[in-house]
Chains A and B, each alone.
Chain A
């Protein structure tokens, strides 16, 4: 796969990494408060918990736990690549603490509350010689396991 892998760019900068190696899962771009130790996603300058400005960048994930989910019976915005029968959406608890809402890979019957997930990048369209990718999570067999 790596021989034919196309270059990728994120749909929007500043939310997740796009690893060179397509097999490597992405990480989420978050913030750590150096005073109280709370993590946040997305990045922010001021700690929402203790109001400290002593914060710094942190990489979060790629593991997660499914807090809740749904399956939306409409097409995902602008996608020419994803299935138009709808898409899963989940609230995902990252091991560092933040909860994020993202699309999920899979069908409704694949999801159960509390299941382990792993982050991945999904192409939604092409931009010249690059794939434009979004972040989503996929059910996995074990915390930290690749697909």
Chain B
């Protein structure tokens, strides 16, 4: 049984972001401070009210977590740095939610930041030939999901391009998105972009970027007290799983999956929240490549096995559709700096549930699901609900 079902009710008290993008002149400390102060202000709290902090980062050197937290002041609180690849920010949130539910802290700050651009500049050109696994790029790994899917289900490249175009167009409505196209992106344009690993093109793939995002986690009781006029955003499910062994398991390469992990993790979350896929109004996923979002439609139970392609053709997952996915642009358009990515999903979902998502608002949004994968691999899912 989860601590969420036995412990205190937990809420997202506030959220804040530094836009994702290429910011060579901004430091992790600067971006983290901007996102963190925005989240505190949104919550109606000061840093003196924060009992503990979880700093999520993948690429920054040792000590960066605790050093960035000094931007807010030195109050002696516990600061922990956590890394779980792409799922870093989500994994930090998982720890904070458990700690607040269990009564260890009343207010926890979850801050994710990264500078993927400087990581790329610092590394030597190309991949490391001493590491056999480096022959398999993440794009190649997910391209093989696509090839297998095409073989089994007759998926067309147009289906992948339509997912990417949707996310580009959602991103254009999000001021925090890295990619904000000034005119609508067609699936033909996605298909004509440069090939990375067949059948995945650059516009079907997430960009490299920098950025920061923050969520302040506390009790529902406190949320009601701090902002009495505002809907409370409750965390009604929080789960993290690593892989279970099945034959065919890949032990080498930039591995994410198998699909069973998303199925299992979402099943735990649906049980914790007492909801099913039909109750979910909008979803954020780890769409680092368009084929991933297609698979997650089915793995999260948002459509039956084999029906994703028909749903894409009907527009089920677009804004205004049955269950909008990647409403903020997803990793493909909002961006994917690393540490903050999962917290950008929480930023978006919190705004959606409060009715503050502007041009990308999902009507009558009451329950949202956020799924992240971290290479290696892990799956983290949270379900947020308007209280």
Contact residues, B109-154 vs A (CB, 8 A): 126-132, 134-137, 139-141, 143-148, 151
The answer to whether B376 has its CB under 8 Å from any CB of chain A is no
Q: Does the CB pair A77–B250 fall under 8 Å? A: no
Stretch at the interface among A18-26, A55-63, A98-106: A98-106
Stretch at the interface among A1-9, A67-75, A139-147: A67-75
Q: Does the CB pair A77–B126 fall under 8 Å? A: yes
The answer to whether B77 has its CB under 8 Å from any CB of chain A is no
Chain A contacts for B144, CB-based, 8 A: 67-70, 89-91, 101
With both chains docked as a complex, state the minimum distance between the C-beta of B11 and any C-beta of chain A, in angstroms.
Answer: 39
With an 8 Å Cβ cutoff, the count of chain A residues facing the other chain is 40
With both chains docked as a complex, state the minimum distance between the C-beta of B255 and any C-beta of chain A, in angstroms.
Answer: 8
The answer to whether B229 has its CB under 8 Å from any CB of chain A is no
Chain B contacts for A113, CB-based, 8 A: 147-148, 151
8 Å CB contact of A70 from B198, B247, B250: B198
With both chains docked as a complex, state the minimum distance between the C-beta of A111 and any C-beta of chain B, in angstroms.
Answer: 9
Chain A contacts for B141, CB-based, 8 A: 101
B139: nearest chain-A partner, CB-CB: A72
Question: Which bracket fits the contact residues of B?
Answer: 35 or more
In the bound assembly, the distance between CA atoms of A87 and B253 in angstroms comes to 16
The answer to whether A49 has its CB under 8 Å from any CB of chain B is yes
In the bound assembly, the distance between CA atoms of A44 and B134 in angstroms comes to 20
8 Å CB contact of A72 from B148, B197, B252: B197
Chain A contacts for B196, CB-based, 8 A: 72-74
8 Å CB contact of B137 from A40, A67, A72, A135: A72
Q: Does the CB pair A72–B249 fall under 8 Å? A: no
Chain B contacts for A78, CB-based, 8 A: 126, 129
Q: Does the CB pair A49–B148 fall under 8 Å? A: no
Q: Does the CB pair A101–B250 fall under 8 Å? A: yes
Q: Does the CB pair A12–B252 fall under 8 Å? A: no
Chain A contacts for B248, CB-based, 8 A: 67, 93, 97-99
Chain A contacts for B145, CB-based, 8 A: 68
Number of A-B contacts (CB under 8 A): 98
The answer to whether B195 has its CB under 8 Å from any CB of chain A is yes
The answer to whether A95 has its CB under 8 Å from any CB of chain B is no
In the bound assembly, the distance between CA atoms of A69 and B146 in angstroms comes to 9
Given known pairs A78-B126, A99-B250, the reply for A70 and B132 (CB within 8 Å) is no
Chain A contacts for B147, CB-based, 8 A: 68-70, 113
Contact residues, A20-50 vs B (CB, 8 A): 38, 40-42, 44, 48-49
With both chains docked as a complex, state the minimum distance between the C-beta of A82 and any C-beta of chain B, in angstroms.
Answer: 10
The answer to whether A108 has its CB under 8 Å from any CB of chain B is yes
B151: nearest chain-A partner, CB-CB: A113
With both chains docked as a complex, state the minimum distance between the C-beta of B204 and any C-beta of chain A, in angstroms.
Answer: 13
Given known pairs A12-B132, A77-B135, A113-B151, the reply for A48 and B249 (CB within 8 Å) is yes
The answer to whether A134 has its CB under 8 Å from any CB of chain B is yes
With both chains docked as a complex, state the minimum distance between the C-beta of B316 and any C-beta of chain A, in angstroms.
Answer: 26
With both chains docked as a complex, state the minimum distance between the C-beta of A87 and any C-beta of chain B, in angstroms.
Answer: 8
With both chains docked as a complex, state the minimum distance between the C-beta of A91 and any C-beta of chain B, in angstroms.
Answer: 5
8 Å CB contact of B198 from A11, A71, A76: A71
With both chains docked as a complex, state the minimum distance between the C-beta of B247 and any C-beta of chain A, in angstroms.
Answer: 5
8 Å CB contact of B252 from A38, A42, A93: A42
B127: nearest chain-A partner, CB-CB: A77
What are 27 A-B residue pairs whose CB atoms fall within 8 Å in the complex? A11-B130, A12-B130, A38-B247, A42-B251, A44-B251, A67-B148, A68-B145, A70-B197, A70-B198, A70-B200, A71-B198, A73-B194, A73-B197, A74-B137, A74-B196, A77-B126, A78-B129, A89-B140, A89-B143, A89-B197, A90-B144, A91-B144, A91-B148, A99-B250, A100-B250, A101-B136, A101-B252
5 closest A-B pairs by CB: A70-B143, A78-B129, A68-B148, A68-B144, A113-B151
